Amino acid sequence: MGETLEFMFGNPENSVLSRMRKYSPNIFKTKIMGKETAVICGPEGHRFLFSNEQKLFTAFRPQTTQKLFRSYQSTSVPVQIAREEETKVFRSPGFLKPEALVRYLDKMDAITQQQMEKYWENRDEVKAFTLSKTLTLTLACRLFLGIDEPERISRLFNHFDDITVGMHSLPLDFPGTGFYKANKAAKAIRRELKQVITEKKAAIFFGGSGHARRTLSYDR
């Protein structure tokens, strides 16, 4: 627990550097979130790690992330997917192909221009990080879900912010903790997405406008 608290709430960089000096500049063992963890350091270590993925190493999600995204298994044995299969699954949707993405460029440019004019231009100070996240989520909502409602997008933005903070916290699910807030946000996002899916299905069933046909209802 002490290692976790120091790493999460102290200074992670100093925490790692002190252990590199104490144990090894290349690799050392510790416990993070109750899990046995090996920390591989330096460019050579990173190269070794990524060149042996799915060979000597298997990726996993921390317990907090698993619970928030409901990806946890009843078994502790991770499900392995061959690299070629993983690539095939990722690239298979037609809407991710270059020829399909070309259709979205004009819309993406228009949305970006709107965001720049509304939040960036003629201001003495801009919070670039926050506004960049707003732009990214707006693009995702407009293009993937067909959502063009500022209030709805704003709600999703706040929920995603809560999740981002909570997914790096201890998995303590009671009021006042970051995980509790993130868990509520994750449930709210799932409800919102289910509502969007219901609306799109109804729009298509009743012959709604083409706006209902976004990535969410894409046919290859």
Angle between helices 128-140 and 105-115 (to 10 degrees): 140
Nearest alpha-carbon partner for 41 in 29, 53, 54: 29
61-73, pLDDT tens digit by residue? Answer: 778 888 888 755 5
Burial 162-184 (b: 16+ CB within 10 A, else e): bbeebbebbbeeeeeebbbbbbb
| End-to-end CA gap in the chain | 49
Q: Where would I find the H helices in 69-104? A: 83-91, 98-101
The predicted pLDDT at position 148 comes to 85
Q: What is the CA radius of gyration of the chain?
A: 22
Dist CA 115 CA 118 (whole Å) = 5
The reported pTM is: 0.66
Name 40's bridge partners.
27
Per-residue confidence band for 1, with pLDDT thresholds at 50, 70 and 90? low
Burial 55-73 (b: 16+ CB within 10 A, else e): eeeeeeeeebbebbeeeee
Total Cβ atoms within 10 A of residue 156: 22
Place of tokens 């070794």: 48
Nearest alpha-carbon partner for 61 in 43, 41, 40, 76: 76
pLDDT average, residue stretch 169-193:
91
> Is pLDDT at 220 greater than 50 in this prediction?
no
Per-residue confidence band for 42, with pLDDT thresholds at 50, 70 and 90? confident
**Stretch (H or E) spanning 179:** helix 178-205
118-171, pLDDT tens digit by residue? Answer: 888 888 898 898 899 999 999 999 888 888 888 899 999 999 999 988 887 888
Dist CA 135 CA 143 (whole Å) = 12
